[in-house]
Each structure stands twice: as structure tokens, then as C-alpha cells.
Amino acid sequence: MTVTAQEYPTTSVPTEPVITPEAWYGADLAETGDWLYRISEAAQRELDSALRHVEALGLSAPDFGKADFPLPGFAAELDDIRGELEGGRGLVVMRGIDRARYSKKEAAFIFWGIGCHLGTAVPQNGEGHRLGHIRDLGFSFSDPSVRGYQTSAELSYHTDMCDVVFLLCLNQSKSGGRNQFVSAVSIHNEILDRRPDLLEVLYQPFYFDRRGELDEAGGKPYYAMPIFSYHDGMVSTRYLRHYIDSAQRIAEVPRLTSQQNEALDLLDEIAYRPGMFLGVEQEPGDFVLINNYPLWHLRTTFEDHEDLPRKRHLLRQWLSIPNSRGLPETFRGKFKNLEPGAVRHGIAVRPHPQPKPPPDAADLWEGLDAAPLSA
Ligand SMILES: [Fe+2]
């Protein structure tokens, strides 16, 4: 049995370009640099005393909250950053933490503490991890049960399934592993201008592979939603071509049409065009924040260091932010709650009869205590 696209909601296609602050071009951002936020001396001092406070309480990430990590002045700046994430460009890089001062574990605590002030960290996989490790675990991305963050493969342009993805770099790879960000709203507007017929196609549902993250036991191994939706004057998007292509392994998923493939190719052609995207080298201690509804991100393939303590290592939070946008019905199947400011995400946590230890967390935390962030 093949499912049909008519079962899934869509929104109307705007007839004019959608001009919002999140419709930017990478070349302009590279010139202004105003997405790069320098952590001030005063903010550093507050982060430092909040860290010492939480350590004195004997608490550990992810088991402390906002009240345990007081930021009397910096919290207001984080409010502004949240306003930049929803309602602004959708992208912020925070840089300038004193790397020599902290171990990787202390940096992880600071990362968690900042996240507590920005929003609510939600589960990012079926195991319910809210503080996730991005490491090459030696898995192959061609295995349909493997998620991209567990590999060294190139992760082509995509959105994560939350309001805001928040990353902290602990270690860089030997080479590669660069981040690229692009405004899907600008891509949308380019397609409206060049090929409005294909924009119509991208407003129709596409089938995505769930990659083993099922909504419930026995649930379908795929879901469907459009790549672009238009709601409240904003374009919101869900994209991950690798998972669209890998959903084709599932018999009941309709085959991609030549027109759909042409539309996907056009997305990529525009998204990789110089001037469209912003490339960012994430250094140890850099905090990156991306709104997933208007922006896409990618990571290039990387070559890693041989010895474990030096291997590329990022920490990740998926944040639900209190000033998030309302989402259209097209997001209901995956995100469930569409209300503005709702705590939501697109991953169902598997119930375990007994708490199951995270498959990767224990060994990845090991050694972070002693390792300096600057190494
Ligand atoms: Fe991602």
C-alpha cells in the first residue's frame, strides 16, 4: 500500500517575497559580523561565579536549573540574544570565554547554565538525552538506524527538530568539520522569483525517514510534511535531504517524482552558491545558536585526531524558547504542539522498562574533568 500526500496538511504559497530579518545573505553577514557576540568581562565574571556556585551546591549538568546558575546582569543580554534568534537573523555565535581558565567539564556546566536561561532543553534522541555529545562513534551514515551526529560524514543542509539548536565546541577536528548556515527564507524567495512552479512543489509534503526514532512502538518509520510552510507572515521549514532520500527505502512511501527531484536539486544549487551561506569555523569555547525554522545548517566531512582526548567533540542542546513562533498545521504530525512559546520538539522518547544508560554518554564524559578547554 502506498500512502498519499493528500493525507497531510499544507499552507498557501505567498505570491510576494517574504522580507524579514531572517531573509539574509551570507555575504552580507560576513561583512557586518554582527551575528558574532563577544562575551564581555562582566559577563565572564558572572558566568564564573555561577559556575562556582553550582559546583559548591554539588550539582552537575544536566541536573541543575536556572535558579542554581544566577546571572544577575548577563541574563538580560541573553534575553536580547533570544530576541535575535526569533525575530532577528536567527543566528548568534558567542565567543570569548576564557579558555585557559576552564576544564571541558566546567565549560559544559557553563553551557548548560546558559541554556537554562535561554529556554528549556528538550530530548534530542529516543534515549531522552538533553545534553548531547556530537562525536564520530565510528558508525556508518548509510545505516538507517544511525543519526548523522554520530558520524564523521558530511551532514548536508538540514534543520534539527527543535526551536533552537545550541552547540558548544570542546574540540575541533584535525581538518574539516566546518559549519555553514543559510537562510532558507532567502532560498525560498529566490525560487519564488526563478521557478514559482517548483516552489509550489516544495509546499507539498515530502516523506522523511525517521531513522529509527519512532513516535511509538510499531509506529511508521517515516513522516511527511512540506519543506516550506507559510504562517503568520513567516516562512518555516523542515529539510534534510539525506532523510528524504533514505525514506525511499520504505516500500509504502511514494517514489520521488522527477519534479520533486528537480525542486530538491534547485534548493541545493542555491544553498551552496557562494554569497548565499555563511561559513563559520567553530573554535573551542564557541557557542553557536541557530533558529531551525528559518535557517538551515550543515557540517562538512572531517578528518579526526587519532587520540581520543583530542577527537572532535561538540556538546548540543535542543532548546525550546519562550518567544518561539506559532507553527502551522503542517508541523503538527512531528512537533505536536504548535502554540507560540510551547515547549516542543520532534523526537519521542522511548519508554524503557528500566532506565537505560545512554549508549555514548559515560565514556564521552570520561576525562573531561582534567582536560583543559584550550587543549
Ligand atoms: Fe544539525
C-alpha closest to that of 293 among 205, 367, 220, 226 = 226
Instruction: Find the 16 Cα to ligand 1 centroid distance in Å.
Output: 29
The two most distant CA atoms of the chain are separated, in Å, by 62
Instruction: Find the 297 Cα to ligand 1 centroid distance in Å.
Output: 6
Is 165 a domain residue? yes
Is 6 a domain residue? no
Is 355 a domain residue? no
- What pLDDT is attached to residue 358? 47
Alpha-carbon distance of 5 to 205, in angstroms, equals: 6
Q: Identify whether the C-beta of residue 231 lies closer than 8 Å to the C-beta of residue 185.
A: no
CATH of the domain at 148: 3.60.130.10
- What pLDDT is attached to residue 164? 98
pLDDT one-digit tens code per residue, 91-130: 999 999 988 899 999 999 999 999 999 999 999 888 888 9
Instruction: Find the 226 Cα to ligand 1 centroid distance in Å.
Output: 19
C-alpha closest to that of 93 among 243, 232, 347, 290 = 290
Is 288 a domain residue? yes
Instruction: Find the 333 Cα to ligand 1 centroid distance in Å.
Output: 20
- What pLDDT is attached to residue 357? 44
Instruction: Find the 362 Cα to ligand 1 centroid distance in Å.
Output: 22
Question: What grid cell was written down for 170?
Answer: 570542546
Query: Average pLDDT over the chain, rounded to whole?
Result: 90
C-alpha separations of 115 from 43, 54, 91, 186, 348 in Å: 15, 14, 15, 28, 21
pLDDT one-digit tens code per residue, 185-225: 999 999 999 999 999 999 999 999 988 777 766 788 999 99
Instruction: Find the 57 Cα to ligand 1 centroid distance in Å.
Output: 33
Q: Which of 38-47, 132-141, 275-284 has the lowest mean pLDDT?
A: 132-141
Is 12 a domain residue? no
- What pLDDT is attached to residue 165? 97
* Structural domain span for residue 195: 21-346
Name the band, by pLDDT with cuts 50, 70 and 90, for residue 2: low
- What pLDDT is attached to residue 365? 66
Is 213 a domain residue? yes
In this prediction, residues 285-303 reach a mean pLDDT of 94
Instruction: Find the 298 Cα to ligand 1 centroid distance in Å.
Output: 7
Is the model's pLDDT at 360 over the cut of 50? no
Report the 10 Å Cβ neighbour count for 74.
21
Instruction: Find the 72 Cα to ligand 1 centroid distance in Å.
Output: 31
**CA pseudo-torsion sign 259, 261, 265, 271:** positive
Instruction: Find the 42 Cα to ligand 1 centroid distance in Å.
Output: 31
Is the model's pLDDT at 159 over the cut of 50? yes
- What pLDDT is attached to residue 1? 62
- What pLDDT is attached to residue 143? 77
Is 47 a domain residue? yes
Residues in the chain: 375
Instruction: Find the 340 Cα to ligand 1 centroid distance in Å.
Output: 22
Is 308 a domain residue? yes
Q: How many domains does the chain have?
A: 1
> How far is the first Cα of the chain from the last one, in angstroms, to the nearest whole number?
55
C-alpha closest to that of 162 among 221, 228, 68, 236 = 236
C-alpha closest to that of 338 among 232, 264, 248 = 232
Instruction: Find the 276 Cα to ligand 1 centroid distance in Å.
Output: 19
